[in-house]
Copies of this chain bind each other. A is one copy, B any other.
């Protein structure tokens, strides 16, 4: 059984991106520039955005953080998006979710120029990804595919079960896994699935993205399966009075049955920022090509 080391792979990819940035700069091109828009004071969002800014610095990007109070109007936020769309120095930008309830997230996302939508959330990017055109693939699906590739895990013809059908993980990873070049036979299972345990047990590759801590037990996993755990449920730990992160997989009992498994934390998680960096580099290079 091999524990997939997401931290190690993400560090490798960051280094590859940094090397590419250095080469671009050496050729006289401008430094790739990512902007992040943060609304309000949500602790999680602030942490994530800070990580993103730090990762930008690590790979040699320029980064800009734009902060608003949570009483910003939808119109004002749209104006900010429009400004970023038109700012030729900015290659890509993200608006950190979730947004305050008085702002319609889909309106903001659809206002982002798809060519700068490095989160890959705009419907046009989602559509391009779905039909196999070049696109910005969103963070978690990209991270999963990259982990499978770098660990040389065979996917061709294998049965991949994706547990969960969310727009940010389950749906896109199910599409990617069955595309040409990856070629898995993909089943999307979810809360309404009959015989869920049996369906999971038929998987050669099980991707758990159901958002329910330790949902996948040993009896739901085939001997020798590859298990990718996308869960990140934060549960307050009473003894230490701080948060503990739980995956969707009961690691201790499932791991011994697996050929490969991602831990939580340290598996899929560290890979997500890498996708954002890769997309920003792509955006910068595409613009350069125009």
What is the interface of chain A, defined by CB distance below 8 A to chain B? Answer: 106, 122-133, 156-159, 165, 167, 171, 174-175, 178-179, 183, 185-190, 192-194, 199
- Which secondary structure characterizes the binding site on chain A? mixed
Interface centre among A123, A167, A189, A194 (most CB of B within 10 A): A123
Judge whether B199 and A185 touch: CB under 8 Å. yes
Judge whether A131 and B194 touch: CB under 8 Å. no
What residues of B have a CB within 8 angstroms of the CB of A165 in the complex? 178-179
Judge whether B194 and A190 touch: CB under 8 Å. no
Judge whether A188 and B190 touch: CB under 8 Å. no
What residues of B have a CB within 8 angstroms of the CB of A183 in the complex? 190, 192
What residues of B have a CB within 8 angstroms of the CB of A188 in the complex? 174, 178, 185-187
Judge whether B133 and A130 touch: CB under 8 Å. no
What residues of B have a CB within 8 angstroms of the CB of A193 in the complex? 157, 185
Judge whether A190 and B178 touch: CB under 8 Å. yes
Judge whether A158 and B127 touch: CB under 8 Å. no
What residues of B have a CB within 8 angstroms of the CB of A194 in the complex? 157-159, 185
What residues of B have a CB within 8 angstroms of the CB of A189 in the complex? 185
Jot down 26 A-B pairs with beta carbons below 8 A, ordered by A: A122-B127, A123-B124, A123-B128, A124-B124, A124-B127, A125-B127, A126-B126, A127-B127, A127-B128, A127-B129, A130-B130, A131-B167, A158-B194, A159-B194, A159-B199, A165-B179, A171-B175, A175-B175, A178-B188, A185-B187, A185-B189, A185-B190, A185-B193, A186-B188, A187-B187, A187-B188
